[in-house]
Amino acid sequence: MVNIGILGDMNCGKTSVFVRFMNSLAATNEKIISGSPGGPEMYTTQTVDFIRFTHRGFIHVLYGTGGHTTPITDYYRVYVLRNANRFLCMFDLSKDLERQLKFYENLQIPTKQVTIFLNKFDLANDNFDDYKEKIEDFFINKQKKLVKFILPTVAIKVEDGQFQKETQNCLTGILDLCEFDKDSSAFDVWDGQGG
């Protein structure tokens, strides 16, 4: 069983990716066992969202945290940091990168490796290469994390059929995290010793 935590600054699209994943998963042979995303508004998470789902015969959990800084969202973020064994770090390509990196500065992600989604590719795809380089540098050199992969994503469906690959990345990127059980040592708790 893999427990995946989605992390990111507020309004970077965590809940939208969560909803896109859930809707895309429903169109496959896999099952959503329990849970549903969103708070008072469909695309806003106030505390924590979760779903249990199947992939290749195993049950997995996807947690989505709120990005706001309130005591309740901080509490649930710590809960996810303690209970997830894979982390998906989200960034919004249409917003200032420095503010988003600050969100991660004080998080103590307990795994050696993270996966990155650069969301809203449809709004600011010209930022992709620059953000990718800076985010990799931040996680590798400052956070001492391995970056498994960085994917461009579009969580809200674009009507004219553009960005289908980026929309599909919301499903395939999360399902790829479920596959890493074969090489779970990359996700072991970080010992602070490098390597």
Is residue 77 within 8 A of residue 84, CB to CB? The reply is no
Give, for 101, the enclosing helix (H) or strand (E): helix 97-105
Structure letter (DSSP) for residue 26: H
Q: Which of 42, 38, 39, 45 is nearest to 8 (CA)?
A: 45
Q: What is the pTM of this model?
A: 0.85
- The whole-number pLDDT of residue 31 equals 85
Ordered mean pLDDT values, 10 residues apiece, the chain (195 residues): 92 88 88 67 57 90 78 83 94 96 92 96 92 97 95 85 90 89 51 40
Q: Where are the domains of the chain?
A: 3-186
CATH of 3-186, one of 3.40.50.970, 3.40.50.1360, 3.40.50.960, 3.40.50.300: 3.40.50.300
For 114, list phi and psi in degrees, rounded to 5: -135, 160
